Structure 1
């Protein structure tokens, strides 16, 4: 059973009707607010129940403003769970803690000593008896200068929890924004909230921090989490934000609401690095709550990105060093019926230059304020002790590798921490109705689907999600058909409807944008999709059951290859490939999709897998579902591989390096061309994030070599590893359709979805290779020209340097 969602916008929080009406009790551990707690778990609305427009009810509207301004009841934010915040002098206290930290003082002293040593070695202080005194004086001057630099860094970085009146107003403004944009509210689980408040109270007594680690898909992520914490009376977390958001007005607003601004890249700046670490230490030592996004930036594709280990490393080091005793990790999933920024994401993924971040334009946009985009679901995983995780990890590693170097152990621990958080986020994520609709529309063979069939497949998908341990948004007793109508209304013009038919029929209008919502589902079925794609190498041949039977040896080989190929794209189960494969096969067999053949009666050794007769009779609809989920990613990997073949250097250009960005742009241009010519099935396969991941995977495989170029900003460049360079016909110079790289790309291609004009592989090879060779030749020509210009610029700078040195010598004479 599940507990209903809470509406926290009114003076007396209440809930929407659960699936089955029940009596509720008052939670004993909720000190400042009476919050109903149900025996079941699914919740409803958090913000919209008492929301009123001025035009609809001016009196109620003005009353709400007055209550927030005066701080009536819970709005006062006086008795929070956590350490005291929002008082005059908070920022100055935190600033002093950072600047006086032993870590930062030691780094400033070290940097000053290093600089003084350099100047001493250069003879700056002379060689007489007063050299030591002059050196010491200079060292002190450098320390004062570094102190000033650190002071400026801290002042621009730290959040400024100073005014309760400000935060009351900020909360009210955010509620207005959210209620207008997400008209069905923010939904949380009352059971998870009860547990969160319990852990928060326990941590507060021990002066320990709650570390919120959410996924990141929208600017709304941090707004919604701050709103939830405020309404529940939990101390607001300090939120890590990129300094690109620190611009006039908005930057100050965010800083006073909990924003901690840091650079996107530290660039080897040791003072800045130590300042950030000292700030993280001060937050955790003081028991203040903290929030950072585990993926770094926002996901443009809808699925979870790989974890970023920057800030996560600082958190880990605070405990590893012993400066902090413990903290509580809280993975958070935020899911949307519709994400505001998806249209902009599509433009970015298609290579249209990204516009500079401007949160003010985003928040003040009339488009944002007038949309009705459904609801937001925020789910909290059970909090767990970071110290407990570390101790358990060290114990396990001591058994596996007792003499492990500390740096290697830390790196493994950091990676394990990152992927554990991602796994926990996936476990609590709720699949929204719009994601169900988008997934079904993009995993059907036909042009469109009738309303009744759409509802049937949504019910099937919801069941599969729950069987996999996932969560599908509860319909609250509403018929699936009604849920479909609501979801279609939210998706708007992304889905089209054909009128004048015997049945309402819907089709995907913007498949690229809809893929964002489909990708919110794929994490639950990654293993099944890999197996389905591996089986497709035989199933696509057609014929009878025996003709489509896949030997286990071949299946395992292709599953292993695809799993390695996509290890940077998806988060896989951690049980190991053999155990995971067998578990997946048993699940598919239980679903009556496949049949497993064994070599012995005891079923100890697998011999083959094949589709069941039942699955064949239903038109392979369940098996095809898994294929359609993974095919766009296979297409993207294949496209990247084909583009890499195009990087085979023309004769005489064997030592030429090409820019990584230019190579990826070339792959994207090739993909757009191949899609419109019919050689690529999915337009979303040309998105630059998937291509970037594929290039990264090829580098890890040793197919590509990358390095920094000689250009001023050091953009990375690449070329094919010598052993992977395809051979050419000595007589004609034409590329031969064989070799290590060709075979690698073919291993991807055999799991691709077949198209009507792609059955003749020789024809495809000819068409595709002709295109990428042409684009590759242009890329090499541009690289050669750019290298020539760079060398000329370097020569000019060298001559200028000689001239300046000569002028300096003449001046001394």
Structure 2
């Protein structure tokens, strides 16, 4: 697109050109939304545009959509009636009523139990009670359903909602929503075919911002596709906003079902109804919004319902469409940083929802939405079942619960891989990545432009895509991205022979860097493994690593990061050799091979001579990508030393444990202390998500033991160290750097970035362990004062003979 097209909105790019004039495959791109007239500057034009939407002129009428009919009077009541007729829901209500009557019989609430010659009167009383409970459960279901379902009843409403949402989005993202014309043309063809078969399209986007679902709804409306019903957590269902979103397509579900036995069945019945009638759906496979910029691990809850609909035969098929939504700048990043640094997430309400209004006058760049090739859910199930049948003749494995678990996990990771494949790298992500992977305080403008062009080439070589800015020079793209990021993220030093830029807020910039890291994870792991030798210095032959050593350390890191990154489904050796070939081609590493024709003929790996001659800039790039995550792993393990009870702990008769949440808070405090004292290189390593993943790995490995204490809302999680990993103390009570836990810390530390303050071995060990002991001591002091101590699993159970209220939750 030309500069005028970019700013004034219209048209399509004839070719796709990367910054620097490097051509990719030809592609047409469309800027979807046009800027609206402003009421202040052109009130008559603004009113005219509003009228066009309300009365529906042309595409704004939204009355000839591709898909099943929506937005007509009575839509909600019709949907509720169909859900309540679902056989699965009716059976569950009967089952729950029968169980409840049995419980009340045991409690003596509906007559005597086990009396010989029991008469017709007692039987009738029980039957009446059963019918009464069924009526109550149906009434509860209807109440819950009314608050759950989307209410697409008014076409006038959705026209106005589109106008309102477009006004807000085009003011915040002044360069609009950009889509691929080819992808949209193909999606429309798929939608037309699905409509004929009365099949649903299930859109599965990544989730980085509240703008995600707004942008997809706007795209569907503008292109005349049936709006999807958006699965949303009921934390957003607060006054005014909740009702508005529900009438625009949101369906509200609880964040947690607890022990409720009716609600999941009701939700399944609703999803069955939507899929049976060919209504499109949208849900976020990651669950909540990513606070770190990279994809989160899949959440399987809602996917389980989709899968069950098709596996059960209640739904013939549905179409899966992974979606990637990328931003020049994400509105919520400021609040994400606060949350990651320990500030509790504020409860969603109208005030916090409207607090983003101050950003509407900012220029946040553009939104790029990309659609992966849609595919059949039924076809996916059949393909996976066929593979499993070849691997095992077990009936349970091919048809039972094992099949469901395998399908669910494979489905989740396939969708995430497809999202990464469809994603484009935005200019702000390029700049953030470059600034955080350079040594030194800052970088000159010409060098910044050169490294952005280099990174574009690397992205393309990895099969990734860069946002399309045809006809614009790299320098222009960089200038626009710097303007969007602003001086709070990227600082500029003027008055020099050349403008010099530096990372002002490295923590926030890491969000944008993480949008590119998925493309380079194998290469980064290899370079981190090689760095274990490189950082020792010496001659070239002293920095050489055998293939076995490289493979072993890469495998070790891969296990550490299995919850951080979405890895390829290929084997470790396949990924390793593929990445090594790319690094060899780019002259980052040099491999020495034995005279063999086998694939595993690599003998040693070392830095390529070109890297030595150019100051290791490409090698360092990959190391800088992974070092913050290695730091976070190391911090998570060092924090475990806080779980070692001090000598004064007065509770030898039982295994004392700490409150898990309090322990996590103290771990963040330890990380901040280590960072400011120079023993931790990356401040982002202290963020809650990184530590959460690190502690999850320790729990999976059996290093930390997490248990539940108490019941209900007062229940807490408690944590302690496994005795096998318990560190020892010397006669003075100081932690000793030895044992399995310390050996694991040292192994992780091999790949950490070397810092000036960490070259004095024994002193560092003493200082770091001393800090861990000091920071954790307050938690143990509370135990010593009797403030925290408690027996794990202790709780009280109150027994009553009254009928439980069914209105709050359908528990037995």
What aligned pairs does 1:615-630 form with structure 2 within 5 A after superposition? 615-630=611-626
Q: Select the residue among 233, 253, 270 that pairs with 1:262.
A: 253
> How many Å separate the matches in 1 of 2:606 and 2:695?
33
Q: Select the residue among 529, 533, 540 that pairs with 2:528.
A: 533
CA contact (8 A) 1:724 1:740 kept: yes
SS in 2 for 1:588: helix
- Correspondence 1:89 to 2:86: no
Q: Select the residue among 420, 425, 430 that pairs with 1:436.
A: 430
- Correspondence 1:611 to 2:597: no
CA contact (8 A) 1:4 1:43 kept: no
- Correspondence 1:571 to 2:566: yes
- Correspondence 1:40 to 2:26: yes
> How many Å separate the matches in 1 of 2:577 and 2:143?
57
Corresponding residue for residue 718 of structure 2: 717
CA contact (8 A) 2:679 2:758 kept: yes
Q: Post-superposition shift, 1:727?
A: 2.5
SS in 2 for 1:427: helix
Give ranges in structure 1 of 5+ residues lacking alignment.
21-37, 803-813
What aligned pairs does 1:771-790 form with structure 2 within 5 A after superposition? 771-783=771-783
Corresponding residue for residue 698 of structure 1: 698
- Correspondence 1:175 to 2:166: yes
CA contact (8 A) 1:18 1:476 kept: yes
Q: Post-superposition shift, 1:599?
A: 2.7
> How many Å separate the matches in 2 of 1:112 and 1:3?
67
CA contact (8 A) 2:734 2:770 kept: no
Corresponding residue for residue 469 of structure 1: 463
Corresponding residue for residue 686 of structure 1: 686
Q: Select the residue among 32, 52, 57 that pairs with 2:37.
A: 52
Q: Post-superposition shift, 1:786?
A: 6.3
Q: Post-superposition shift, 1:352?
A: 1.0
> How many Å separate the matches in 2 of 1:383 and 1:776?
51
Corresponding residue for residue 668 of structure 2: 668
Q: Select the residue among 506, 516, 525 that pairs with 2:511.
A: 516
> How many Å separate the matches in 2 of 1:792 and 1:615?
56
TM-score where L is the length of structure 2 = 0.92
TM-score where L is the length of structure 1 = 0.92
Q: Post-superposition shift, 1:471?
A: 0.5
SS in 2 for 1:212: strand
SS in 2 for 1:646: helix
CA contact (8 A) 1:333 1:380 kept: yes
Corresponding residue for residue 47 of structure 2: 62
CA contact (8 A) 1:5 1:44 kept: no
CA contact (8 A) 2:238 2:348 kept: no
Q: Select the residue among 313, 319, 329 that pairs with 2:310.
A: 319
Q: Post-superposition shift, 1:487?
A: 0.4
Query: Would the alpha carbon gap of residues 65 and 7 (structure 1) be closer, same or farther in structure 2, given more than 3 Å must change?
Result: farther
Q: Select the residue among 633, 640, 644 that pairs with 2:636.
A: 640
Corresponding residue for residue 125 of structure 2: 134
- Correspondence 1:448 to 2:434: no
Q: Select the residue among 355, 359, 362 that pairs with 1:368.
A: 359
Q: Post-superposition shift, 1:102?
A: 0.7
Q: Post-superposition shift, 1:463?
A: 0.6
Corresponding residue for residue 806 of structure 2: none
CA contact (8 A) 2:6 2:175 kept: no
Query: For residues 168-195 of structure 1, what are the alpha-carbon distances to aligned partners after superposition, in whole Å with 9 as ceiling and x for unaligned?
Result: 0000001100110000010000000001
Corresponding residue for residue 331 of structure 2: 340
Q: Select the residue among 64, 73, 83 that pairs with 1:79.
A: 64
Q: Post-superposition shift, 1:602?
A: 3.6
> How many Å separate the matches in 1 of 2:613 and 2:383?
50
SS in 2 for 1:705: strand
CA contact (8 A) 2:148 2:253 kept: yes
CA contact (8 A) 1:7 1:47 kept: no
- Between the two proteins, the alignment pairs up a number of residues equal to 778
Q: Post-superposition shift, 1:7?
A: 10
Query: For residues 374-416 of structure 1, what are the alpha-carbon distances to aligned partners after superposition, in whole Å with 9 as ceiling and x for unaligned?
Result: 0000000010000000000000011112204411111111000
> How many Å separate the matches in 2 of 1:470 and 1:294?
21
CA contact (8 A) 1:5 1:187 kept: no
SS in 2 for 1:719: strand
- Correspondence 1:113 to 2:98: yes
Q: Select the residue among 132, 150, 155 that pairs with 1:164.
A: 155
Q: Post-superposition shift, 1:774?
A: 1.7
Query: For residues 32-78 of structure 1, what are the alpha-carbon distances to aligned partners after superposition, in whole Å with 9 as ceiling and x for unaligned?
Result: xxxxxx99324142113x42223343333222111111101111101
Give ranges in structure 2 of 5+ residues lacking alignment.
18-23, 801-812
> How many Å separate the matches in 2 of 1:790 and 1:613?
61
RCO (CA 8 Å, sep 6+): is it higher in 1 or 2? 2
Query: Would the alpha carbon gap of residues 570 and 386 (structure 1) be closer, same or farther in structure 2, given more than 3 Å must change?
Result: same
> How many Å separate the matches in 2 of 1:188 and 1:598?
46
Q: Post-superposition shift, 1:775?
A: 2.0
Q: Select the residue among 354, 357, 375 that pairs with 2:348.
A: 357
Query: For residues 292-351 of structure 1, what are the alpha-carbon distances to aligned partners after superposition, in whole Å with 9 as ceiling and x for unaligned?
Result: 001000000000000000000000000010000000000000000000000000000000
SS in 2 for 1:168: helix
CA contact (8 A) 2:204 2:283 kept: yes
SS in 2 for 1:180: helix
CA contact (8 A) 1:6 1:44 kept: no
Q: Post-superposition shift, 1:777?
A: 2.4
